Structure 1
Amino acid sequence: MDAFPAFFPLAGRVVVVAGTGPAAEAKARLFDGSPARIIRLAGEAAFNPKAYAGASLVFIGSDDDAFAEAAAAAARAARVPVNVADRPALCDFTTPAVIDRGEVVAAIGTGGASPMLATLLRQDIEARVPEGAGRVAALFRGLQDEVRQALPEPHRRRAFLRAALNGPAARAAMEGDMERASRLLRDALASGHAGAGMVQFIDARGPAERLSLKAARALAAADVLIADEGADAEVMGLARRDADRLEHGAPERLAELAARGLKVARLVTAVEWRREAQALAELGVEIEVLPIAT
Structure 2
Amino acid sequence: MDYLPIFLKISQQPCLVVGGGQVAKRKVTLLLKAHAKVTVLAPEILSELKTQVLAAGGQILECAYHAHYLAQQRLVIAATDDESLNQQVFNDCELANIPVNVVDAPALCRFIFPSIIDRSPVVIAISSSGQSPVLARLLRTRLESIIPAAYGQLAAFVGKFRLEVQRQLPDTPNRRAFWEKELQGRFAELVYNGRYDAAEQHLAQALATHQQHAGEVYLVGAGPGDPDLLTFKALRLMQQADVVVYDRLVSQPILDLCRRDADMIYVGKARASHAVPQEDINQLLVRLAQEGKRVCRLKGGDPFIFGRGGEEIEELAAAGIAFQVVPGITAASGCSAYAGIPLTHRDYAQSVRFVTGHLKDGTPNLPWSELVHERQTLVLYMGLVGLAEIANQLIANGMRPDMPVALVSHGTRPNQQIVTGEIATIAEKVQASGIKAPTLTIIGDVVKLQDKLAWFGQK
TM-score tier after normalising by the smaller chain length: 0.7 to 0.9
Given that 2:114 and 2:127 are in contact with CA atoms closer than 8 Å, whether structure 1 keeps it comes out as: yes
- 1:226 alignment counterpart: 245
C-alpha distance in structure 2 between counterparts of 1:48 and 1:76, whole Å: 14
Contact 2:216/2:321 (<8 A) preserved: yes
The equivalent of 2:254 in structure 1 is 235
**Higher RCO (CA < 8 A, seq sep 6+):** 1
**Aligned match for 2:169, one of 148, 151, 170:** 151
What does residue 260 of structure 1 align with?
291
Equivalent residues in 2 for 1:78-157, closer than 5 Å: 78-157=96-175
Q: 1:78: Cα distance to partner?
A: 5.0
Letter in 2 for 1:213: F
| Distance in structure 2 (CA, Å) of the matches to 1:67 and 1:228 | 54
1:230 alignment partner AA:
L
Equivalent position of 2:34 in the other structure: 34
Equivalent pair of 2:32/2:38 in contact (CA under 8 Å): no
Question: Considering only CA atoms, is the larger Rg found in Structure 1 or Structure 2?
Answer: 2
Q: Distance in 2 between matches of 1:265 and 1:54?
A: 48
14 and 213 in structure 1: CA distance in 2 versus 1, 3 angstrom threshold: farther
> Normalization by structure 1: what TM-score?
0.88
Question: What is the aligned partner in structure 1 of residue 13 from structure 2?
Answer: 13
Conserved 8 A contact 1:46-1:71: no
Structure 2 unaligned regions, length at least 5: 44-61, 268-275, 301-305, 331-459
Question: Which amino acid in 1 is paired with 2:320?
Answer: G
Residue identity opposite 2:241 in structure 1 = A
What one-letter code is carried by the residue in structure 2 that aligns with 1:274?
A: G
Give the number of equivalent residue pairs: 294
- The aligned amino acid for 1:216 is L
Contact kept in structure 1, 2:241 and 2:259, CA below 8 Å:
yes
- Counterpart secondary structure, 1:30: helix
Normalised to the residue count of structure 2, the TM-score between the two structures is 0.58
Letter in 2 for 1:277: I
The whole-number CA distance in structure 1 between the counterparts of 2:123 and 2:137 is 15
Q: Which amino acid aligns with 1:95?
A: F
The RMSD of aligned alpha carbons is: 2.5
CA, structure 1 residues 234+227, in 2 after alignment: closer, same or farther (shift >3 Å)?
same
Secondary structure at the counterpart of residue 238 of structure 1:
coil
Work out whether residues 41 and 65 of structure 2, in 8 Å CA contact, stay in contact via their aligned partners in 1.
no
Q: 1:285 Cα shift?
A: 2.5
- In structure 2, do the counterparts of structure 1 residues 146 and 82 end up closer, same or farther at CA, with 3 Å as the change threshold? same
CA drift at 1:36: 2.6
Aligned with residue 188 of structure 1, among 190, 202, 206: 206
Q: Name the stretch that deviates more: 187-196 or 247-256.
A: 247-256
- Is 1:50–1:78's contact at 8 Å kept on the other side of the alignment? no
Deviation at 1:211, TM superposition (A): 0.6
Retained in 2: the 8 A contact 1:57–1:82?
yes
- Secondary structure at the counterpart of residue 80 of structure 1: coil
Pairing 1:275–2:311 present = yes
The answer as to 2:192 corresponding to 1:174 is: yes
Output one character per residue of 1:84-117: Cα deviation in whole Å (capped at 9) or x when no partner: 1112222121111111110111111122121112
What residue is the counterpart of 1:286 in the other structure?
A: 322
| Residues 262 and 78 of structure 1, relative CA distance in 2, 3 Å threshold | same
Residues 293/113 of structure 1: CA separation in 2 closer, same or farther (3 Å cut): closer
Q: Which residue of 1 aligns with 2:23?
A: 23
Q: Taking structure 1 as reference, are residues 251 and 86 closer, same or farther at Cα in structure 2, changes over 3 Å only?
A: same
Gaps of 5+ in 1: none
**Equivalents in 2 of 1:102, 1:31: separation in Å?**
15
Residues 34, 2 of structure 1: alpha-carbon distance in 2 compared, 3 angstrom cutoff: closer
- One-letter amino acid matched to 2:204: R
